Amino acid sequence: MALLISRVTDWLRGLFEWQRKAKVAKETKGQQFLKAFREQCASTIRPALQRIGEHLQSKGMQTRIEQSEERLAHDGRQESREEISLVLVMGDGYGRHVEMPHLSLWPDKYKEVVRLGQSTIVPGTGGYRGGIGSVKLDEVTEEFLEQKVVALVQKILR
């Protein structure tokens, strides 16, 4: 009986160790993707959104770029997500970007894709706010972002 208990205990220890290693590997892979997203933001996404924003400003639209990093609460839960947004400033320009038309990108480090969201809501009118899909990180180019912003501007100017 003691031998059986010993074998079961060893088997359970092995199983728990395997699960712990799998979790660490997944977290490490997710952190690598988050790092790659940050690098893509610095090298491609933010500069492209700045150029697009400058072009829109030359046409009379006010824009701003908002960026946030992932923050964890004291208990380890995610408090805020990593995100970059091009906000089309409406009215007096005050308020959070969720209250104005915007295009947002954020990494899904578990599925290793970039999620896209947009809002077509203009203060005082209706509109839509929500996810519009996901793409691989290497698909986020300046041309891709231009297409998404043009589609957003067309929707809010209708």
**Measured CA distances, 65 to 23, 29, 75, 125 (Å):** 34, 28, 30, 23
pLDDT surpassing 60 at residue 103: yes
**Measured CA distances, 122 to 47, 63, 130 (Å):** 25, 14, 14
Lowest mean pLDDT among 1-5, 131-135, 152-156: 1-5
**CB of 103 within 8 A of CB of 86?**
yes
> What digits encode the pLDDT tens for the residues 61-74?
999 999 988 766 66
pLDDT surpassing 90 at residue 7: no
